[in-house]
Amino acid sequence: MGRNFKRFAIYKFRTMVEDAPKKGLLITSSGDKRVTNVGKILRRLKIDELPQLINVLKGDMSLVGPRPEVEKYVELYKKDYSEILKVRPGITDTSSIAYSNEEDVLRKWADPELYYMNVVLPEKIRLSQEYLKQHSCCQDMKLIFKTLFRVFLSFPKA
């Protein structure tokens, strides 16, 4: 879901098998069999997000802003999202940094989707609301640098 609850196609490199949503959850955790071998590398290095620059050029997204969420989860917290989705979703935000290891976090739970809906998603919403209250060009620059630093740390050490 994008700005004003409008659906849009988000560009990403394919990291999962074809029809992955029909074969499992809308979220992934570490060890998800739907993620391809190449997909594991792209995800670890956060390269799968790079095509979202096309979304930025098209005007669907911005560099920084609350991360887009799938409709199913937006509907659970529609009241909260009514404020969040007044702005364009972004490639990065505070929750992207806080949950850069989200797949590992979800892996620890017997029902990762339930944990996501009841714990992770409310925290992401809180972080998005906090971002919107503090939003500034300076804040966005800090988030861009923090994201680049986090991506740099994910590269394998020689």
- List the domain range (segments joined by +) for residue 36: 3-154
pLDDT in tens, 8-67: 999 999 888 888 878 888 888 888 889 999 988 888 888 888 999 999 999 999 999 999
Q: What letter would DSSP give residue 156?
A: P
pLDDT band per the 50, 70, 90 thresholds, residue 154: low
Residues found in the chain: 158
Domains in the chain, number = 1
Q: How far apart, in whole angstroms, are the C-alpha atoms of residue 111 and residue 72?
A: 17
d(C-alpha 79, C-alpha 101), whole Å:
27
